[in-house]
Amino acid sequence: MGVGDEIFELAARLFPICRSITGDGVRQTLDILSDHVALERHEVPSGTQVFDWTVPQEWNIRSASITGPDGHAVVDFADCNLHVVNYSLPFKGILPLNELKLHIHTLPGQPDVVPYRTSYYAPTWGFCMSCDRASELPDGLYQVEIDSDLKDGNLSYGEYLHRGQTEREFLLSAHICHPSLANDNCSGLALLAILARHIAARETRYSYRFLFAPGTIGAITWLARNEDRTHLIDHGLVLSCVGDAGSPSYKRSRRGDAFIDRAMAHVLGHEAGAKLLDFSPYGYDERQYCSPGFNLPVGMFQRSVHGTFPEYHTSADNLDFISHEHLADSFRILTDVIDVVEGDWTPLNLFPKCEPQLGRRGLYAALGGQKSQEVTSMSLLWVLNLADGKHSLLSIAQRSGLPFRQVAAAAAILSDHGLLGETSSPLMPSSAR
């Protein structure tokens, strides 16, 4: 089974679950993710103050339906969990159509899909239907029932820390609160879990923290509970919408020139149609990590940008909308970025006056060797020329236009032949690079 198949299979297991910012759906999701990565679970009680926010009451739902005047079901939560407004208050009653319609959400511009709506911080009850179906409802009395509860409980999140050679961290975060939406964000959760398993089997310089938390309130809660450790974060990415056919895109951190911004720009510079976006204080949890009191070097990786594709936050964001191929491609891009983070260092040419004689050292012959399949004579020359103690390998890759892996392989060969030294520790805070 290829990595794309694994990620898709996991996303398919997660898809049917009704998740929200709290509740048993989140715990069930964490249970499934724990089959792939050893998550540490956290439960934060309702009412806990987290900066300017308060952990809300816990929401759970068992069933919901609308029964028409003829006794037949018009809507059944069991058919699609998007049919109920997420965080709906419980309700039971008999209503005429004109009153019921005040609590029905549709999407007239896309009349055949069910929209996704929430009422996290403005308590109410409601249903979501396709506009086509809602327009067919006849006058009469409707029996309405939402069997849910909203009461003191806990907010749940999970994290996994892979310890590297140092405590300096790379944070990878995905929101766990959306119900049956395949791209947003079953794809992100599944990819992050499989990536965590991949990193767990690897020796790394950085420590890697994988966070699965509810959107907004989950990230805020994690930051409030870990404020004393955020100074260790040198790089970060938020993942969402990573399984569709759109070209890959990256939203820069608030800093704009953090190492992760440069690394993502370099990797995506070799991807057809890739998009680089400047930071804005709207989106997913990157806006919490990048709030001015933290200003962490955290960007966001997606394929199609949220809110720009018609399937976004509708029932059309189903398993047919994501693919094994694009999940695998997103995985490859992320591992390429991690390779840049792990492999960057600053070389120094030990023979800086004119070019050293490469042929005499057998370097041209070495280009055909297995170790240096990526290496060309131009990559050797670029590294030698820019190895002045001021350019890291990433800087050389950016300047030359060569892929990082090719520059890194050239630097390794030159080092093996005694032509390069190192002017700095390969691991330093991104702000210093």
More confident residue, 426 or 270: 270
Asked whether residue 158 carries a pLDDT value surpassing 90, the answer given is yes
Residues 6 or more apart in contact with residue 73 via CB below 8 angstroms = 65, 66, 67
Residue 42 annotated as part of some ligand binding site = no
CATH H-level superfamily of 3-56+154-342: Zn peptidases (3.40.630.10)
pTM: 0.94
Topology of the domain covering 60-151? Glucose Oxidase; domain 1 (3.50.30)
pLDDT in tens, 183-209: 999 999 999 999 999 999 999 999 999
pLDDT in tens, 30-59: 999 999 999 999 999 999 999 999 999 999
Residue 105 annotated as part of some ligand binding site = no
Asked whether residue 360 carries a pLDDT value surpassing 50, the answer given is yes
Confidence of residue 432 (pLDDT cuts 50, 70, 90): very low
Residue 184 annotated as part of some ligand binding site = yes
Average pLDDT, the chain: 94
Return the pLDDT at 96.
Answer: 98
Whether 349 and 420 have beta carbons less than 8 Å apart is answered as yes
Return the pLDDT at 395.
Answer: 97
Cα-Cα-Cα-Cα dihedral sign, residues 29, 125, 285, 47: negative
Return the pLDDT at 199.
Answer: 98
CA dihedral (282, 317, 108, 81) in degrees, to 10, reads -100
- H helices of 319-403, where? 324-343, 363-366, 377-386, 393-400
Return the pLDDT at 422.
Answer: 84
Topology of the domain covering 344-432? Arc Repressor Mutant, subunit A (1.10.10)
Return the pLDDT at 348.
Answer: 96
Q: Specify the DSSP element, H or E, that contains 147.
A: strand 141-151
Return the pLDDT at 281.
Answer: 95
**Residue 231: alpha-carbon gap to chain centroid:** 21
SS3 (DSSP) at 264: helix
Asked whether residue 221 carries a pLDDT value surpassing 50, the answer given is yes
Residues 6 or more apart in contact with residue 196 via CB below 8 angstroms = 36, 37, 160, 162, 172, 208, 210
Looking at the chain, which residues constitute the CATH 3.40.630.10 domain(s)?
3-56+154-342
Return the pLDDT at 1.
Answer: 78
Residue type for position 309: F
Mean pLDDT of 305-312: 95
Strands 298-302 and 420-422: unpaired
Cα-Cα-Cα-Cα dihedral sign, residues 133, 134, 140, 143: positive
Query: In the block, which residue shows the tokens 């840049």?
Result: 340
pLDDT in tens, 366-404: 565 544 457 888 999 999 999 999 999 999 999 999 999
Looking at the chain, which residues constitute the CATH 3.50.30.90 domain(s)?
60-151
Looking at the chain, which residues constitute the CATH 1.10.10.10 domain(s)?
344-432
Q: Which of 167-171, 285-289, 299-303, 428-432 has the lowest mean pLDDT?
A: 428-432
What are phi and psi for residue 146, nearest 5 degrees? Answer: -125, 110
